[in-house]
Structure 1
Amino acid sequence: MPCHHRRRAGQTRVPDDRPAGYARGDGDRGLMDADVIVIGAGPAGLTAATTAARDAGARVVLVDENERIGGRLPGQLYRHKDTWVIGARTAERLAEEAAEAGVEILSGHQVWSCEPGWRVRLESSRTLTAPKVVVATGAAERPLPMPGWTLPGTLAIGAVQQLVQVQRILPGRRVAVVGTDPLAMTAAEEITLAGGEVVGIFMPSGEPGQHAESSPRKVLHSLSGFASAAPAAWQRLGARMLRNRAIAAAAARLMPPSGIPIGEAKLKVRHRAEAILGAGKVEALRIRKVSAQGVPVGDSREIPVDAVCLSGGLYPLQELTTGNCSLVEVPEVGGLVPLHSPELRTTAPGLYVAGNVTGIEGAAVAERQGALAGTALAADLGAYRDPGARLREAAAQVELARAEAVLTFLPGIFSGRRRLSELWEAHAAPGSQSEGKASDDA
């Protein structure tokens, strides 16, 4: 059910900068009047909503399709050196901050469309209107198709995290993980902490339709983004050394077939998963050794398991930005993303973005991006005497969170962010012809 919160006493009403023809509710049950609508209640959306409501006194409505807000946070649990990062606690903190700021939360509502104006249509035939919208819809999992992947007992990694961390249910007693991104690593550790056995974290086969990395050298290189999540100091040092491509290539050649420890599980970069087997349910995983270059060698063998977790990585969700603003393809940040300014304004007036919809990164970066988008909103609503200083500070916090990130999902994220900045500068340059550099769907 939606949660409603009153504006706190002493807050200032935002300037009425609504566009001509802006529709008020006027008792219409299908229309809600707001100053800002935020779509997505993950760390980015929650923080954007809180910042705009707190700093500008804006009436903010936050919409999310899930009954439990927090996005992927409730399913997250991973190490940071000698401590644990518990996503559920972060979600609780952010939800409390949003409630204290007076944000109105509509949970359990799917957004069907977002149209300039801005009109946000829900599945209940309800329409919300506001002059400003933040899209913070996050990311979706890429499928990892392979023979047998439709058998009962095969689960996507996000579903596994929800089962283990939210529902307290093990996906199986003897589990294989296929995929080598940070989600796969953290899910493997969550399963072992809950009492399950992870027989290994295996490489994808690299067959057509799989977007996950299947090269041992590249997988080891990407482990540098997982360095601070390693439990032991020597593991953290070793992971950081893998940032050097030559060291990663040498490690791939010397890697023992038994794999390397990731918590209680082992990452088997010299084995690839070829098929999931079973009669009506998962019963085994067929694996095969590969060379340091990822070439199959020898015969395949079967490992008895009762569940297989597939992790093909993430991609930014653009259903609600497509047709509303310019989009650009930047593989280093995860694919197609909105062209946006350093303050997270898009090419469409009144439309802002934050979080993984702008590129795949961790929750801490998404939270700081939400604060930056909320600050940009508040600045555009006239909330600050020195908006430039507030925006610079918020942007600096994003960069700090990125530099200190516990998990780095994409090794090229920094170069990808620089590329996005260059594209925005080209777009914003006087007399620029940016149509050739961006897919303008606005």
Structure 2
Amino acid sequence: MQVDVAIVGGGPAGLAAAREIGAKGGSVIVIDDHPKPGGKLLGQLHEESKNGGWWKGYEQAERLVKEALAANVTILSGKQVWTMEKGWKLFVSDVHNQGTDGFTIKAEAILLATGAVEKPIPIPGWTLPGVMTIGAAQVLTNVYQIKPGHKVAVAGIDILSLSIARAMKLAGVDVIGIFMLPRNEFSQELAVPYRLLDTFKSFTHHAPSPLLRLGGRLLKTKIGRKLAAAFYPARGLKVWDIPVHFRRAILAVEGGRQAEHVLIANVDSQGNPSGYSYKEQIDAVCISGGLSPLYELAVSTGCQFVRLEGLSGVVPLHNETMETKVENLFVAGNITGIEGAKVALAQGMLAGKSICLKLGIGLVGNHEINDAVTYVDEVRKNADIQFHPSIIAARHELKRIWEEHHALSL
């Protein structure tokens, strides 16, 4: 099989880019290892603060797939790219039937839109049946309409756990609360209330509670965050009728053949257990340790990488038009840093235009690329959800690093 462009990843970034390239006359194929295209869009459901409507990811996915197919895009689901060779040549296998012969795809350019992977945090009892990542709960609840449990506790406070806990609540699950992670070598700052509150300062203005919105002003300064961590109510504050506990942590999950109880303790502002502890009956526990870019496939290409905290980990070095230092290798979506679906969609559209310009597909000019770059910046700036408070600063630093590397290569 030979195409102009091969895209690895059928989420929002990959599908948006494929639609763009296909609409301009390029031959493009999307390879995705999930049963159906759409990526994490299929499990997304949240209320948007600015227009009062709901973001229904599955509807967005259906629209993208329909538009991509209309643009003559080929979509291969249930297939996995396990390595690549420059030239470009992709080696593909069947996810569900490993006994079958694989096949190769030749392409002039590659777009990696492989997304993100969860960072599960091990805690005592986490191997018991009934303990899962928050992403698994999202798939069960929003994709397959299956309750992860009847009475659920969430360990790990972040924007992902908040939104998925609400989805579970809407599905009829009794979410007893969202708690801090226990402090260990894996959780690190995720288990320190003072440090964790710093990540919430960028979206407290979206909080459904007036008290939380008012409290969000405290988080703008170091002194305010210390006060918030020290005086946060021991019983927590409710968000969408779900208690959020910055001063209580789940220390362990207990049970015989499955999860039956969680051991909960009060913690101080540094995340250290401080006296009182108790057990709460549950039948499921969801652990949220955040997300990190899924970059492993990019390693085989020999591209350069950078680690920036604001991007939530290691990402391929790339410029504003989504091009890496490797010839005809582009990236888009969460492989470039953890952000929301709307940013991924905008990046995918930009990457599609950039690839068309590079390969001479359609009539794409530099002005169109510049407009697309500006659009990505606007979407990022106005995003309802930001996974890291330093995301914009990190993007500026990434641009500086790219320009520095580019100058050295001249």
Task: Give the direction of change, closer, same or farther, for the CA distance of 1:228–1:92 in structure 2 (3 Å limit).
Answer: farther
Residue 358 of structure 2 is aligned to residue 388 of structure 1: no
State the distance in 2 between where 1:240 and 1:94 align. Answer: 38
Are 1:423 and 2:391 counterparts?
no
SS at match of 1:225: coil
Give the corresponding residue for 2:31: 63
What does 1:31-50 correspond to in 2, within 5 Å? 32-50=1-19
> Structure 2: how far apart are the matches of 1:67 and 1:394?
31
Task: Provide the secondary structure at the position in 2 that maps to 1:68.
Answer: coil
SS for the counterpart of 1:199 is: strand
User: Could you tell me whether the CA contact under 8 Å between 2:83 and 2:300 is conserved in 1?
Assistant: no
- For the residue of structure 1 that corresponds to 2:247, the secondary structure is strand
Deviations 1:250-271 (A, max 9, x none): 2112211111222121110000
Secondary structure at 1:268 match in 2: strand
AA matched with 1:252: A
SS in structure 2 opposite 1:143? coil
Q: Over aligned residues, Cα RMSD in angstroms?
A: 1.7
Pick the aligned partner of 2:41 from 68, 73, 88. 73
CA contact (8 A) 2:293 2:338 kept: yes
Matched, 1:319 2:302: no
Contact 2:218/2:228 (8 A) holds in 1: no
Does residue 366 (structure 1) correspond to residue 336 (structure 2)? The answer is no
Q: Which stretch shows the higher mean deviation, 122-131 or 57-66?
A: 122-131
Deviates most, 34-43 or 92-101: 92-101
1:335 aligns with 2:313: yes
In the alignment, is the contact (CA less than 8 A) between 2:183 and 2:271 conserved in 1? no
The CA deviation string for residues 123-156 of structure 1, in whole angstroms up to 9 with x for no partner, is: 1411011010000000000111000000000011
User: Residue 356 of structure 1 is aligned with which of 334, 350, 358?
Assistant: 334
8 Å Cα contact 1:59/1:103 also seen in 2: yes
**Equivalent position SS for 1:220:** helix
In the alignment, which of 181, 204, 210 is matched to residue 227 of structure 1?
A: 204
* Cα distance change on mapping 1:156 and 1:212 into 2, 3 Å: farther
Match of 1:111 among 58, 74, 81: 81
Aligned to 2:172: 195
SS state at 2:177 partner: strand
Residue aligning to 1:253:
230
C-alpha contact (below 8 Å) 1:230/1:263 kept by paired residues: no
Looking at structure 2, the residues matched to 225 and 183 of structure 1 have their Cα atoms a distance apart, in angstroms, of 14
Unaligned runs of 5+ in 2: 95-101
Give runs of ≥4 in structure 1 deviating > 3 Å.
225-229, 232-241, 383-386
Instruction: Give ranges in structure 1 of 5+ residues lacking alignment.
Output: 1-31, 433-442
What code does the residue aligned with 1:76 have?
Answer: Q
The one-character-per-residue Cα deviations of 1:225-282 (angstroms, maximum 9, x if unpaired) are: 3336533455445436523333222211221111122212111000011100000101
The match for 2:93 among 109, 118, 123 is 123
Does the Cα contact within 8 Å between 1:204 and 1:212 map onto a contact in 2? no
Query: Which runs of structure 2 are paired with 1:170-249 in the superposition (5 Å)?
Result: 170-210=147-187, 213-227=190-204, 229-232=206-209, 235-236=212-213, 238-239=215-216, 242-249=219-226
- If the length of structure 1 is used for normalisation, what is the TM-score? 0.87
Tell me the SS of whatever aligns to 1:209: coil
Percentage of identical aligned residues: 40
Deviation at 1:316, TM superposition (A): 0.5
Deviations 1:256-313 (CA, angstroms, capped at 9, x unpaired)? 1111222121110000111000001010100110112322211321111110001111
Instruction: String of CA shifts for 1:78-135, please: whole Å, max 9, x gaps.
Output: 1222332111111112112211211111111111112211111111411011010000
Distance in 2 (alpha carbons) for counterparts of 1:38 and 1:354: 10
User: In structure 2, how many angstroms separate the alpha carbons of the residues matched to 1:361 and 1:413?
Assistant: 8
